[in-house]
Structure 1
Amino acid sequence: MDIYDIAEKSGYSTATVSRVINKSKNVSDKARRIIEGIIEESGYKPNRIARSLAKNSTQMIGIMVPDIRGYFESQSAYELERRLDKLGYTTLLCVTTNSFEKKVAYLDVLVESKVDAIIGVGSTYEEAKFYEKLKNMSVIIPMALLNVKTSDENENIINVYIDEIEAMDQAVKLLRDNSYKKPLYVSLDAGYMSRSYIAKKSGFVEALYKYYDDANFVEFKVRSLEKDLPNLIDFLKKNPEFDSIQFELDTLAVNAYKLMANAGIKIPEDLGIIGFDNIHATEFTNQAITSIDQRISDQVEIAIDNLLKILNEEEAETNISLEAKLVEKETTSRKK
């Protein structure tokens, strides 16, 4: 008997059964009494149920991404599928968006598909309400989350992420060392603040005040690439004291580069720029754009290695921080 048999016999969902196993408070007394009775009658303990599931492996692993168009999401999904395929696993890709309801719906689909494990890509999956769902399910299905950092550690959920704060320290120090006097921060206004956004911004602010005596933090937010980026050019013309920009994302940096070139702004002489993600397009501008590499291949490899350890009932690391890699190119090459 496994969790699916218990769910069928009790008349409750697998999610409710997992909450009982995980001793969650969000279960009615009646449901808890019935499910615990079945577990006791069957002679299984919670860890025995989990092992039962692992032994009946489907050789399938679910991958959840909020938006397959994003570089981090698409590249991570590609790397995950490629590596898991070599290990003999079939992958089920779910594009969940950032909607809580859709994330839960796809989580249920993966559970019903009896996948051996689930991998989530992106900080949207650390949203408190949804993360509670993941915790409830992790007792029966181990999970790995890329670009997720949470203080609520769980032995069946692996978090792998880069240290965005340290990454911004590298970037701002490079600007200072290359004689840029006043950096500006440019971010994408997505309508909500993810952990990644908060960490990047916090890291930039900390580094700015660390490396510049007369620091003055200014953030220029972009909601629409088509409508708002041209306003950045106007802003720079009105505020010529800004001689460098840290972009939150490479997509912002690459699109802004063309506008700057058309406006007669010389890069890196007049303006130094740094992106974030190190996407391929940063190599295609006239001057290759300096960028912060999130080491996606390393994140994927570490996540899979530790996920397999859990599946094999071995001890695994569950909270793994990696140092980002600042890739210096041509847009920050101005020297003293």
Structure 2
Amino acid sequence: MNIYDIARISGVSIATVSRVVNGSQKVSEKTRQKVMDVIKAEGYTPNIFARGLGLDSMKTIGIMCPNIADNYMARAISHLEQNFHEYGYDCILGCSGHTREAKENYVKLLLSKRIDALVMVGSTYGGNGVEEKETAYIKNASKQAPVFLINSWIEGENIYCSNADDFSAAYEVTSALIRRGKKRILFLYDSETFSAKQKMEGYERALSDAGYPVLGDLKFRTKNEIHHARDLMLAYKNLEFDSVFAVEDGLAVAALKYAKVKGISVPEELSVVGYNNSPLSVSCEPELTSVDSRIEQQCYIAVENIVKVLEGNTEVSHRTIVPCEIVKRCTTDF
């Protein structure tokens, strides 16, 4: 039994059956009931492709992230999928990695599935904000389907973004450390993505506004791997700092491990702040002060906006900035 059989038995077109199973309002109640009676009598379960026949929608959203193993990404995907299902949308996931070629290939793959919209999670998709060619493939994709970026920003028609206010959060953290007498604040980062650059700019602005110099030796780039970052910090013999602001909780935990090796007390001698308020922030000892980037809210906004766009709403904002929150724990005396 397939959609063609249901249409034949019901005496309606395939498009009408598709509209019925998709809950379209363009079908009379009498016709809808007739088709539903046949579906029930025949025990028919519509598949995703049958649902899309005769409609300009597959009720399917493509979701991309660089790596589902990352806790931040996993949380985002979970919230997106749950919210989309509440609106009757299915999801197709692709993990693209970080190279531009791989990203482009995954976008093409998802678009070939006739998705209704594409959601890209992670600041890596925004490139470094300087070279437009890094994001040209996204602008091309937006000509085929609406594109929604989470925790990134690209300006363009049919492109919508929701991102954390990383600049303000970084400014607030750095200013709080300065108010507590910290003079050498180490900025730990692992990339130069849109989000990382916003955090660095907030850090630098807070230092400048307080009359502090922005020192290159206090900007420390390393891979976001706890032991690797710890060992790299230990390898720099002249690395002097009295506080750490890390763009990821994993990097902040690396700083705590560095402090333990060095016999430095936290927070008495060293204050440490992480980012994303991940499970790592409460798994370490002492528990980590961390910035909550409110990924749940970003995902909720993205889903709500996607549904509005797909329903033909032309008043959807192309950029929504979500305020962050500093969750104070034991690695600072905030």
Per the TM superposition, whether the score is higher than 0.5 is yes
> In the alignment, what sits opposite 1:165?
167
> In the alignment, what sits opposite 1:122?
122
1:237-258 Cα distance to aligned partner (Å, 9 max, x none): 7455x21111121111113313
**SS of equivalent to 1:333:** coil
Question: Are 1:145 and 2:149 an aligned pair?
Answer: yes
> In the alignment, what sits opposite 2:318?
318
| Distance in 1 of aligned mates of 2:54 and 2:275 | 38
Q: How far off is 1:101 after superposition?
A: 2.0
Change (3 A) 1:257 1:56: same
Structure with greater Cα Rg: 2
Q: How far off is 1:98 after superposition?
A: 1.5
Q: How far off is 1:271 after superposition?
A: 0.2
* Unaligned ranges ≥5, structure 2: 1-51
Change (3 A) 1:135 1:318: same
| Distance in 1 of aligned mates of 2:84 and 2:293 | 20
Q: Select which of 131, 135, 143 maps to 1:131.
A: 135
Letter in 2 for 1:134: I
> In the alignment, what sits opposite 1:24?
none
| Distance in 2 of aligned mates of 1:164 and 1:90 | 31
Contact 2:227 2:254 in 1 (8 A): no
Letter in 2 for 1:67: N
Change (3 A) 1:69 1:205: same
Q: How far off is 1:76 after superposition?
A: 0.9
> In the alignment, what sits opposite 1:27?
none
Contact 2:64 2:95 in 1 (8 A): yes
Contact 2:160 2:318 in 1 (8 A): yes
| Distance in 2 of aligned mates of 1:280 and 1:65 | 20
Question: Are 1:175 and 2:177 an aligned pair?
Answer: yes
1:9-29 Cα distance to aligned partner (Å, 9 max, x none): xxxxxxxxxxxxxxxxxxxxx
| Distance in 2 of aligned mates of 1:107 and 1:134 | 8
Counting matched residue pairs gives 276
Contact 1:247 1:276 in 2 (8 A): yes
Greater relative contact order, per chain length (Cα 8 Å cut-off, separation 6+):
1
Q: What aligned pairs does 1:138-287 form with structure 2 within 5 A after superposition?
A: 138-150=142-154, 152-154=155-157, 156-188=158-190, 190=191, 193-213=192-212, 216=215, 218-223=218-223, 225-233=226-234, 235=236, 238-240=238-240, 242-287=241-286
> In the alignment, what sits opposite 1:304?
303
Q: How far off is 1:111 after superposition?
A: 1.5
Q: How far off is 1:100 after superposition?
A: 1.9
> In the alignment, what sits opposite 1:20?
none
**SS of equivalent to 1:63:** strand
Q: How far off is 1:280 after superposition?
A: 1.1
**SS of equivalent to 2:135:** helix
218-227 vs 279-288, greater mean Cα deviation = 218-227
Identity %: 28
Q: What aligned pairs does 1:58-77 form with structure 2 within 5 A after superposition?
A: 58-77=58-77
1:267-295 Cα distance to aligned partner (Å, 9 max, x none): 00010011111111111222211111111
Structure 1-normalised TM-score? 0.75
Letter in 2 for 1:308: V
Change (3 A) 1:212 1:250: farther
Change (3 A) 1:53 1:306: farther
**SS of equivalent to 1:69:** coil
**SS of equivalent to 1:160:** strand
**SS of equivalent to 1:283:** helix
| Distance in 2 of aligned mates of 1:249 and 1:183 | 16
Letter in 1 for 2:88: G
Letter in 1 for 2:330: E
Q: How far off is 1:71 after superposition?
A: 2.6
Change (3 A) 1:185 1:316: same
| Distance in 2 of aligned mates of 1:63 and 1:231 | 35
